[in-house]
Amino acid sequence: MSALDTAAAVRAGERSAVDILDEHLARIARRDGEIHAFNLVTEGLARSQAESVDAAVAEGRDPGPLAGVPVAVKDNTCTRGIPTTCSSRILEGWLPPYDATVIERLGSAGAIIIGKTNLDEFAMGSSTENSAFGPSRNPHDVTKVPGGSSGGSAAAVAAGFAPLAIGSDTGGSVRQPASLCGVVGVKPTYGVVSRYGLVAFASSLDQIGPFATSIADAAVLLEVIGGHDPRDSTSIPEPAPSLLDVLGRGVDGMRVGVITELAGGPGGVEGIAPDVVARTRQAVAALEAAGARVSEISVPSAILGLSAYYLIAPAEASSNLSRYDGVRYGLRVDAPTTGEMNIASRSAGFGDEVKRRIMLGTYALSAGYYDAFYGKALKVRTLIMRDFAAAYEQVDVLVSPTSPTTAFGFGDKTADPMAMYVNDVCTIPSNLSGHPAISIPFGVGDDGMPIGVQILGPAQSEPTIFTVATVLEDVAAKGGAQ
Amino acid sequence: MSDRITRDEVVHVARLARLELGPDEIDAFTEQLARVLEHAADIESLDVDDVPPTSHPLPLVNVFRTDEVRASIDRREVLAQAPWAESDMFRVPPVLGEEP
């Protein structure tokens, strides 16, 4: 049952929020031992929220657009008095003293927070294999990764543990796992969703986004969590985009560009699998058949995004993660002096990938290397923004694959960090530019695993990319992605 | 083995980042960081002297709010999360006399 149908049934008094919660808890009890989507199932909180929703309906009050809808929340989102670990030993046992803005907004909309989902430690990774609490597994094939870093959220939605989930996307961490798990994932425009209460990874790139099984469900979730928040100074001072009303507009006359460099074109990114390129081309053909005007668009600097990102994101992370020093919260390993205590706590609390990124960022920012690496990366970011601006003079939206491949096996890419990082090559450019992008399931690969197609648009073009995605969703539903 | 980053540089960077690495970790990080920096050679060699840097996707301006008294998070609740608190303060081991 979709989130919208569930909310409608609860608002109409046809279904009880408590019953819906119990159904989802039963599914989690049956299968999450195998999937490990959740670090924590918040049954107590969920039950009290569900009872409040049922009481509101009984009293004739409207609980809101997500009445009784269970939502799984990535475990880097602060929940007051409820563990928020970032899947790191350094935050094990920490109880945030406040709720993130998205948690407040979900509560006000009648949603039920059903649990905190697993992630790569501090959202650094593309497979959830970097979680200190063990990886999540792909519900379509448990020998494969669910993607990452929001792999637990993607797996929760794909397994039917919750119709909706919240993730965060710094370099593709919502879209890539959505692609690998066969669900919808959105990275909104930077600043559309408040980051207040999202544990910071790379502040100029981080953005919270929805997971859902349909475009309409993703739309209602983004309408609920989006919009200005004075507690986040990077929040765009406008209301959330209005999406549900525009989903059915169609693409007749719309200008659609295929990103040559990410779709098997000459001089493009290597390693994008032929079955993934084929599905992307098939999606573009479907849009053309639906009335869109299609062209090939070159975004030459997109190919530089990977290098720029893996200097900028670690640089920002090395600064953000300096707060974990064993003084105010989290793990402390005792030592004779404060300096030694800082080092002992950080060395024991952080996992390998987090240490690697802190090291990389510290190096890129250090004397003698700042100009050559970090400074250069910031200039490449300008080139990427210029290339996108030029592209959006010619087309309304761009299309590319979301992930270079379908879901891969555990351990396949853990030995060499670059092999893992390249998973983000199609998603990173939108984080560097701050633009929105959506991944929608479009058929399966040669291995039978889901493939996601990515629709990108200029800043605050969420209504447009959701409209395009809806057309592709209809095509896939009618068997047009086989 | 690449010479993009040396073992000594890795040890130095770890000190800056307040991380203690074992000998095996130093070896692994030296090789892995070199691989990433090898990849970054594509932008290191780029001629972008005339390109201004972008540090942020939005044209941000400083945001002010009115100077009014508001409720803040309860101090006891915050201190309850500290590994060691005493007399409404965070407690740490000795600081003075350390090497900087």
Instruction: Report pLDDT digits (tens) over A264-283.
Output: 877 888 889 999 999 999 99
Q: Which amino acid is at A112?
A: I
Residue A482 pLDDT class (50, 70, 90 cuts)? confident
Alpha-carbon distance B75 to B91, whole Å? 15
Would you say residue A260 lies in a domain? no
Residue B65 in contact with partner chain A when CB distance is under 8 A: yes
Number of domains in chain A: 1
Residue B11 in contact with partner chain A when CB distance is under 8 A: no
Q: What is residue B100's predicted lDDT score, i.e. its pLDDT?
A: 57
Q: Which amino acid is at A236?
A: I
Residue B1 pLDDT class (50, 70, 90 cuts)? very low
For residue A233, indicate whether it is catalytic.
Answer: no
Alpha-carbon distance B42 to A312, whole Å? 15
Which residue, among A98, A363, A461, would best test binding to B if mutated, counting the most B CBs under 10 Å from its CB? A363
How are strands ordered across the β-sheet holding A255-259?
A: A38-41, A112-117, A70-74, A164-169, A207-212, A184-187, A437-444, A450-456, A397-401, A255-259, A293-297
pTM of the model: 0.97
| Residues of chain B positioned with their CB less than 8 A from the CB of A360 | 33, 36
Cβ neighbours of residue A207 closer than 8 Å, sequence gap 6 or more: A168, A169, A170, A187, A188, A189, A190, A191, A192, A193, A195, A431
Residue B94 in contact with partner chain A when CB distance is under 8 A: yes
pLDDT tops 50 at residue A76: yes
Q: Could you tell me the residue range of the domain that residue A230 belongs to? A: 3-246
Answer whether B78 sits within 8 Å of A230, measured CB to CB. no
pLDDT tops 80 at residue A224: yes
Q: Which of A87, A88, A127, A173 is catalytic?
A: A173
Find the closest chain B residue to A433 by CA distance: B57
Q: Give how far A199 is from chain B: nearest CA, Å.
A: 16
Three-class SS of chain B: CCCCCCHHHHHHHHHHCCCCCCHHHHHHHHHHHHHHHHHCHHHHCCCCCCCCCCCCCCCCCCCCCCCCCCCCCCHHHHHCCCCCEECCEECCCCCCCCCC
Would you say residue A31 lies in a domain? yes
Average pLDDT of the segment spanning A205-232: 97
Would you say residue A372 lies in a domain? no
For residue A74, indicate whether it is catalytic.
Answer: yes
Closest CA to A269 of A427, A412, A415: A427
Answer whether B32 sits within 8 Å of A356, measured CB to CB. yes
pLDDT tops 70 at residue A186: yes
Q: Which of A230, A359, A416 sits opposite B17 (nearest CB)?
A: A359
What's the CATH code of the domain at A50? 3.90.1300.10
CB pairs under 8 A between A and B: 168
Domain boundaries, chain B: 7-44
Answer whether A355 sits within 8 Å of B29, measured CB to CB. yes
**Predicted confidence (pLDDT) per residue in B18-72, tens digit:** 999 999 999 999 999 999 999 998 888 889 999 999 988 888 778 888 899 998 9
pLDDT tops 90 at residue A285: yes
Would you say residue A118 lies in a domain? yes
Average pLDDT of the segment spanning A33-52: 98
Answer whether A304 sits within 8 Å of B42, measured CB to CB. yes
For residue A48, indicate whether it is catalytic.
Answer: no
Mean pLDDT score of chain A: 97
| Residues A404 and A422 sit within 8 Å (Cβ to Cβ) | yes
Find the closest chain A residue to B77 by CA distance: A97
- Please check whether the domain covering B7-44 is classified as CATH 1.10.20.60: yes
Residue B32 in contact with partner chain A when CB distance is under 8 A: yes
**Predicted confidence (pLDDT) per residue in B61-97, tens digit:** 788 888 999 989 999 999 999 999 999 999 999 987 6
Rounded to 10 deg, the angle between the B23-39 and A352-365 helix axes is 60
Average pLDDT of the segment spanning A57-78: 98
Find the closest chain A residue to B76 by CA distance: A97
pLDDT tops 80 at residue B99: no
Answer whether B18 sits within 8 Å of A366, measured CB to CB. no
Q: What is residue B56's predicted lDDT score, i.e. its pLDDT?
A: 87
